[in-house]
Amino acid sequence: MAVRNVTLEKTIRKLLDEKKFQTLRDILVTLEPADISAVFQEQDEERAPLLFRLLPKELAAETFAELEPEWQELLIRGFSDRELRDVVSELYVDDAADLIEEMPANVVKRVLAQADPQMRKEINEILRYPEDSAGSIMTTEYVSLRPTMTVKEAFQRIRQTGVDKETIYTCYVTDERRLLGTVSAKTLLLQTDDSTPVSEIMDENVISVHTLTDQETVAQMLSRYNFLALPVLDQDDRMVGIVTFDDAMDVLVEETTEDIEKMAGMLPSEKTYLRSSAWDLFVHRIPWLALLMISATFTGLIITGFESALAAQVVLTAFIPMLMDTGGNSGSQASVTIIRALSLGELEFSDAPKVIWKEIKTAVLCGVALSTLCFVKIMLVDRMMMGNTDISPLTAAVVCATMSVTVLIAKLVGCTLPMAAKRVGFDPAVMASPFITTIVDALSLLVYFGIASALLF
């Protein structure tokens, strides 16, 4: 997907230069809010308010919700109170709450002053919930029906209140805010008798989440059940809002990006790459780099400890990178697979024995294949082709034996650490390649020198 449309950006810049506002407007109204916001953010900052004012009210609010926080702030600072009110009143409550969270205090004050009292109340309710909770990503705007309503009355209510709701396709049947059931617009539409009471056609098997449920769990539930929205209940089991599928999709993408960043030894960042400065990147990357560099002291100590042995058999040094890399790669294959399965909910801690046994079998297969290949390679390439006669078949055997043991250790460490992390409530994603590589490096060197001492010296 070409998220950036360079041709369109150029056309719009040209039309702005030529002050062809009518043509510009005609083009903009045919676009989706996500595309308009992308194009806006490629223009010069001082032109943003001008461009924004060309949009009709509803499209303007939708586009506003898609903009990056710095652009939202820029626009708000240029808005009159009247313009701000127009935008705020058109925003969905969850988008308004997101906005409030991102803006500096003085902007927040202006925004809240322009929101109507009901909206202000709802925004404040959403803001009460911790970041990454269902409460913080829900919207309080949903269609609620009473169980005693008929299908006809339900449609009347949808018509009256639906225009401001984020979805009207799932309606929630409540009594004093207790959730009794759900009824879809499809079910309502397919009813032939419009005097049927809602209570007769509603689905009473409702799956709901709590305000404090983790947002990733909510997103995975929406994805698992193919729902358009999930109802959110408070601590007293009263319905307070819904999380819609589009927000869930965003959460899934964001959380996966975070996992990937952690797996590569970075602190997760909320900014996209192009919006991160070199300093941002540095701050997110240096902690793990430094920590892992320091912990490599152990591998250094191990080598120093065997220094005299190495001086006698310098040829052994040449195989250290290969052994370390193969160990690291084997370990990260296992850890990354397990981390992903854990985060998709395919694995539980109780599966650990099965996982460990499977990894042992895989490690044996990989170990045998790799050490056979390695032996052939050392004898053919290193000894015969390169003519390095320091390498005896016994040396090759030491390397290959180390290889097998290293692969086994790597796969075991790679699969157990993430599961153990999950068990004690840590984030398994941190137990990925860099971390495991460091551990496996030290262990594989110990094995290497251990086997070498026994056989060669």
Instruction: Pick the closest to residue 248 from 274, 213, 295 (CA basis).
Output: 213
Residue 212: partners with Cβ closer than 8 Å, 6 or more residues away: 129, 130, 133, 134, 135
CB of 214 to a copy of itself, least distance (A): 9
- Tally Cβ neighbours within 10 Å of residue 147: 15
Which of 105, 274, 353, 425 contacts a copy of itself by CB under 8 A?
274
Under rule CB under 8 A, residue 420 binds a copy of itself: no
Part in contact with a copy of itself (CB under 8 A); list of ranges 7-15, 91-99, 172-180, 304-312: 304-312
DSSP of 260-290, one letter per residue? HHHHTT----SS-TTTS-HHHHHHHHHHHHH
User: Token pair of 88, please?
Assistant: 């705020």
What kind and span of H or E run contains 175? strand 170-175
Which residues in the 254-273 window bind a copy of itself by CB under 8 A? 256-257, 260-261, 263-266, 272-273
Which of 350, 353, 424, 425 contacts a copy of itself by CB under 8 A?
350
Q: Is 226 left (phi over 0), alpha (psi -120 to 50) or beta?
A: left
Which of 297, 384, 392, 457 contacts a copy of itself by CB under 8 A?
297
Under rule CB under 8 A, residue 207 binds a copy of itself: yes
Under rule CB under 8 A, residue 245 binds a copy of itself: yes
Which of 104, 321, 353, 425 contacts a copy of itself by CB under 8 A?
321
Part in contact with a copy of itself (CB under 8 A); list of ranges 2-10, 16-24, 72-80, 420-428: 2-10
Residue 374: partners with Cβ closer than 8 Å, 6 or more residues away: 322, 396, 399, 400, 403
Residue 257: partners with Cβ closer than 8 Å, 6 or more residues away: 268
Q: Which residues pair with 408 in a beta bridge?
A: none
Total residues in contact with a copy of itself, by rule CB under 8 A: 126
Answer yes or no: are the C-beta atoms of 163 and 182 closer than 8 Å.
no
Under rule CB under 8 A, residue 224 binds a copy of itself: yes
Which of 362, 395, 402, 416 contacts a copy of itself by CB under 8 A?
362
* DSSP label of 164: G
Per-position x/- string for 159-188, each x denoting binding to a copy of itself as judged by CB under 8 A, each - no binding? x--xx----xx---------------xx--
Under rule CB under 8 A, residue 332 binds a copy of itself: yes
Which residues in the 373-402 window bind a copy of itself by CB under 8 A? 373-374, 377, 381-382, 386, 388
Per-position x/- string for 428-447, each x denoting binding to a copy of itself as judged by CB under 8 A, each - no binding? -----xx--xx--x---x--
Q: Which residues pair with 150 in a beta bridge?
A: 197
CB of 105 to a copy of itself, least distance (A): 30
CB closer to a copy of itself out of 84 and 429: 429
Part in contact with a copy of itself (CB under 8 A); list of ranges 41-49, 106-114, 194-202, 287-295: 287-295
* DSSP label of 54: T
C-alpha 259: how far from chain center? 6
Part in contact with a copy of itself (CB under 8 A); list of ranges 7-15, 93-101, 119-127, 253-261: 253-261
- Tokens 């010296």, located at residue: 457
CB closer to a copy of itself out of 108 and 257: 257
Q: What is the pairing mode between strands 178-184 and 209-210?
A: unpaired
Which of 146, 155, 352, 451 contacts a copy of itself by CB under 8 A?
155
Q: Which residues pair with 175 in a beta bridge?
A: 178
CB closer to a copy of itself out of 207 and 455: 207
Which residues in the 41-100 window bind a copy of itself by CB under 8 A? none
Residue environment code for 354-373, b if the CB has 16+ CB neighbours within 10 A, otherwise e: ebeeebeebbeebbeebbee
CB closer to a copy of itself out of 234 and 254: 254
- The phi, psi pair for 230, rounded to 5°, reads -120, 135
Under rule CB under 8 A, residue 246 binds a copy of itself: yes
Which of 48, 212, 310, 451 contacts a copy of itself by CB under 8 A?
310
CB closer to a copy of itself out of 84 and 242: 242
Give the ranges where 103-240 is alpha helix by DSSP (H): 105-114, 117-127, 134-137, 151-161, 185-190, 198-201, 215-225
- Tell me, what amino acid is at 28? L
Give the ranges where 41-103 is alpha helix by DSSP (H): 48-53, 57-66, 69-78, 81-90, 93-102
Under rule CB under 8 A, residue 10 binds a copy of itself: no
Under rule CB under 8 A, residue 286 binds a copy of itself: yes
CB closer to a copy of itself out of 118 and 156: 156
Under rule CB under 8 A, residue 196 binds a copy of itself: no
CB of 399 to a copy of itself, least distance (A): 10
